[in-house]
Amino acid sequence: MNMNFNLFMNDVVRQARSEITSAGYTELKTADEVDAALNKPGTTLVMVNSVCGCAGGIARPAAAHAIHYDKRPDQLVTVFAGQDKDATAKAREYFTGFPPSSPSFALLKDGKLVRMVERHEIEGHEPMAVVNKLQDAFEENCEEM
């Protein structure tokens, strides 16, 4: 039974990863990749992915739809909580003042956090409400594409 559960979880993780990368986000799997990406000039949206069914099922579609906007981040990246632990821990070092939360979104500008959308702002909300939060942050902090 444990083997079947592991196979199931591998499928869930693979699907969750695929949803985000198909939307145009780059996976960061190591701490070095996180530092390199988050220290680039400009704006970066970090999606902290998660296998959490309820919140993840809202966050991933929101991540895909929010970027279809006149203003959007220069860079879209993702780390996977519970899977790529070093990368996720390194990304969270940039989210000063916020406890670990997954799924979640962080918008950084020149390596500094300007907006955080935490799990409690995702779970139990409609995907469009999360899209609106993200697009409001893009409006304030990003350039027109």
Can you spell out the DSSP letters for the chain? -HHHHHHHHHHHHHHHHHHHHHTTPEE--SHHHHHHHHTSSSEEEEEEE---HHHHHHHHHHHHHHTSSSB--SEEEEEETTTSHHHHHHHHHTSTT----SSEEEEEETTEEEEEE-GGGTTTS-HHHHHHHHHHHHHHH--B-
Q: How do residues 46-93 score in pLDDT, each as one tens digit?
A: 999 998 767 888 999 999 999 999 999 999 999 999 899 999 999 999
**Does pLDDT of 1 surpass 60?**
no
Catalytic pick among 52, 58, 63, 91: 52
For 129, phi and psi rounded to 5 degrees?
Answer: -65, -40
Q: Is 142 a catalytic residue?
A: no
pTM over 0.75: yes
In this predicted structure, what is the pLDDT of residue 12? 82
First-to-last CA distance in the chain? 49
Closest residue by Cα to residue 38 from 125, 30, 98, 133: 30
Report which of residues 10 and 16 the model is more confident about: 16
81 and 134 Cβ atoms separated by less than 8 Å? no
Residue 20 counted as domain residue: no
**Alpha carbons 53 and 30: distance in angstroms, whole number:** 24
Q: How do residues 89-123 score in pLDDT, each as one tens digit?
A: 999 999 999 999 999 999 999 999 999 999 999 99
**Alpha carbons 93 and 73: distance in angstroms, whole number:** 20
Residue 11 counted as domain residue: no
Q: Which domain holds residue 125?
A: 25-141
Catalytic pick among 7, 12, 54, 145: 54
In this predicted structure, what is the pLDDT of residue 5? 64
Residue 116 counted as domain residue: yes
The total number of structural domains in the chain stands at 1
CATH assignment of the domain containing 111: 3.40.30.10
Residue 60 counted as domain residue: yes
